[in-house]
Amino acid sequence: MTNKDLANLIFPNITKTVEDYEKEYPERNLKEGACVTRFAPSPTGYMHLGGFFQALIDFTIANNTDGVFYLRNEDTDQKREVEKAVELITSTLNHYNIVPDEYEYNGETKGNYGPYIQSERKEIYHAFIKHLIEIGRAYPCFCTKDEIDEMRHTQEERKMRPGYYGRYARCNTLSVEEAINKIKNKEPYVIRFRSNGNFENKIIFNDLVKGRLHLNENDIDDVIMKSDNLLPTYHFAHVVDDHLMHTTHVIRGDEWLSSVPLHLQLFHELGFKAPKYAHIAPIMKNDDGNKRKLSKRKDPEAAVSYYHEEGIPADAVVEYLLNIANSTFEPWRRANPNKPVEEFDLQLNKMSVSGAVFDMVKLLDVSKNVISKYTAEKIYEETLKWAEKYNQEFAKLLKENKDYSIKVLNIERGKAKPRKDIAKWSDVENTIEYMYNDIFENMNDYEFQKINDEAEIKDILNSYIEKHFNISDDKETWFNKMKDLAEEKGYAREVKEYKANPEAYKGHVGDISTVIRVALTTRHNTPDLYEIMQVLGKEEVEKRIQDFIG
């Protein structure tokens, strides 16, 4: 009896060989230097920002090199609910414009290297496992869960390294006959890789993010095929897939770094060239001065869905993530304020080894900048889209007042220095609500500042509306009248004058305009008052001021 007999007994129906598959998945015809990357999530129904970050890096690297970026669903752990999870991944990537060149979704496949769903690749894996059994580099293991637990326990007691290796790898030494008999007796088994490594040896490995590393050689006979669904484990599946799909760069979370020695052995034993690896550290967060991982449990912003819910535009999230991916992004952006992010040349070796730090304040800042470049129409559309999902009442208001709303959103926009007070669509309502008469009528929290004596306020408003207000004034005339009013009431025409001689005045023109601003909006901090008055119109300005005086 030979290994071949054992392999045939385990996989009687697998007739295709490794060579057959090599022919089915030929070399990709790409230009020199093109990178083939993939995003390979396990569909869990939750999208962590860290996973999304990896997808963005994958996408950008492929894009920068005219390569290929594909999506592979790693669903070999079938206990989880898959369908909705795949939908979440796909819709998220689409929302952020990170569209894979190859994927499989809803029965539709794009690309020649599929299936792109691991559970549909079972036969392929079996052919490669069969091959490893034939050449003596894989074997069935009949140890029960209890036996494995017991072994672990013994290793712990003896302060030994845990794992199925050396003399702990009991089934490694079973003869082919013994193994065949056990299988014929229907004893359940998994398939393990037969490692010939020595833990005392060091291997040198060049990671594209972490640099040159010295790692211990693998000597553990890891499970490569599970007993329940006969699907491979991640270790084995990724080796076969990344080989057949001709991935050039495996960009993944650094929790896999310790498995690299095993993976390199698997590539070697299968006769494949290993891809380049880039292990990305998790995204970190400052928590009371301590750096820690962004956590699904503790941080709502760890979920990509959070950004949709808050209405942070997709471009802003992408822009910010590239910012923390490479410190060279910021100077690049400064030099190229209007270039699309796709043109940024991302470098893996410039990524943080210990983990990029995520900072919400900075993200919102980036977002304010991104939004400041949008047109009022775009802001209207995006806000409406967001509001229809998360703030229906506001959506209704926007829809009923489309043209007016665009005018409102256009205040201080499309200029050299556009307004930057909106960081997310959920901010919009608060920044413009006073412009709607129905809402304004119910607002009564007036934020008067320096001038807050009621009689004084009413006197200023009265004079303004009677003597100075004219909706047809241009901005300069309008402002000069504000100065006239200031002077009339004992305030300096210019801030400068006031500062030079504060005793001589009650205040300055800014204090006067603040009174008018607050009377018209309730707020002391708003965009350009002249523009606000133009959009409100003559009647509404007069009404608001008169109502206030009354």
Interface residues toward ligand GLU, by CB under 6 A: 40-42, 74, 234, 238, 250, 252-253
Give 471: exposed, middle or buried? Use CB within 10 Å, 0-12, 13-18, 19+.
middle
Closest distance between ligand GLU and the C-beta of residue 233, in Å? 11
If the CB atoms of residues 85 and 151 are measured against ligand GLU, the closer one turns out to be: 85
If the CB atoms of residues 205 and 234 are measured against ligand GLU, the closer one turns out to be: 234
- The closest residue (CB) to ligand GLU is 252
Residue 534 in tokens: 């133009």
What are the angstrom distances between the C-alpha of 148 and each of 170, 199, 222, 225, 226? 10, 20, 12, 16, 14
If the CB atoms of residues 256 and 548 are measured against ligand GLU, the closer one turns out to be: 256
If the CB atoms of residues 62 and 250 are measured against ligand GLU, the closer one turns out to be: 250
Backbone angles phi, psi at 73, to 5 degrees: -90, 120
> Other C-beta atoms within 10 Å of 33: how many?
10
Q: How many CA atoms lie within 13 A of 63 on its CB side?
A: 18
Closest distance between ligand GLU and the C-beta of residue 205, in Å? 16
Q: Which helix (H) or strand (E) holds 124?
A: helix 122-134
CA angle at residue 382 from 376 to 387, to 5 degrees?
Answer: 120
Q: Note whether 218 and 205 are within 8 A (CB).
A: no
Closest distance between ligand GLU and the C-beta of residue 99, in Å? 18
Backbone angles phi, psi at 225, to 5 degrees: -140, 130
Q: Of 205, 174, 177, 210, nearest to 192 (Cα)? A: 174
| Measured distance CA(525)–CA(67) in Å, rounded | 49
If the CB atoms of residues 117 and 250 are measured against ligand GLU, the closer one turns out to be: 250
| Measured distance CA(471)–CA(347) in Å, rounded | 55
Closest distance between ligand GLU and the C-beta of residue 259, in Å? 10
Residue 315 in tokens: 């471009």
Backbone angles phi, psi at 174, to 5 degrees: -65, 145
Closest distance between ligand GLU and the C-beta of residue 213, in Å? 18
Closest distance between ligand GLU and the C-beta of residue 381, in Å? 35
Rg (CA), the chain: 33
If the CB atoms of residues 56 and 171 are measured against ligand GLU, the closer one turns out to be: 56
Q: Assign 63 to helix, strand or coil.
A: helix
| Measured distance CA(16)–CA(324) in Å, rounded | 46
Closest distance between ligand GLU and the C-beta of residue 44, in Å? 8
Q: Which helix (H) or strand (E) holds 428?
A: helix 425-432
Closest distance between ligand GLU and the C-beta of residue 118, in Å? 9
If the CB atoms of residues 114 and 253 are measured against ligand GLU, the closer one turns out to be: 253
If the CB atoms of residues 86 and 515 are measured against ligand GLU, the closer one turns out to be: 86
Q: Of 403, 459, 407, 399, nearest to 432 (Cα)? A: 407
| Measured distance CA(550)–CA(545) in Å, rounded | 9
Q: How many CA atoms lie within 13 A of 148 on its CB side?
A: 14
What are the angstrom distances between the C-alpha of 346 and each of 66, 254, 272, 332, 425? 13, 19, 28, 11, 29
CB under 8 Å to 247, separation ≥6 — which residues?
A: 36, 37, 38, 241, 275
If the CB atoms of residues 247 and 522 are measured against ligand GLU, the closer one turns out to be: 247
Q: Which residues pair with 207 in a beta bridge?
A: 211
Q: Note whether 358 and 284 are within 8 A (CB).
A: yes
Backbone angles phi, psi at 266, to 5 degrees: -60, -45
Closest distance between ligand GLU and the C-beta of residue 231, in Å? 13
Closest distance between ligand GLU and the C-beta of residue 253, in Å? 6
Closest distance between ligand GLU and the C-beta of residue 335, in Å? 33
Closest distance between ligand GLU and the C-beta of residue 255, in Å? 7
Closest distance between ligand GLU and the C-beta of residue 294, in Å? 16
If the CB atoms of residues 43 and 140 are measured against ligand GLU, the closer one turns out to be: 43
If the CB atoms of residues 6 and 280 are measured against ligand GLU, the closer one turns out to be: 280
DSSP 48: B
| Measured distance CA(368)–CA(417) in Å, rounded | 12
If the CB atoms of residues 73 and 526 are measured against ligand GLU, the closer one turns out to be: 73
If the CB atoms of residues 241 and 531 are measured against ligand GLU, the closer one turns out to be: 241
Closest distance between ligand GLU and the C-beta of residue 247, in Å? 9
Q: Which helix (H) or strand (E) holds 192?
A: strand 190-193
If the CB atoms of residues 250 and 465 are measured against ligand GLU, the closer one turns out to be: 250
**In terms of residues, how long is the chain?**
550
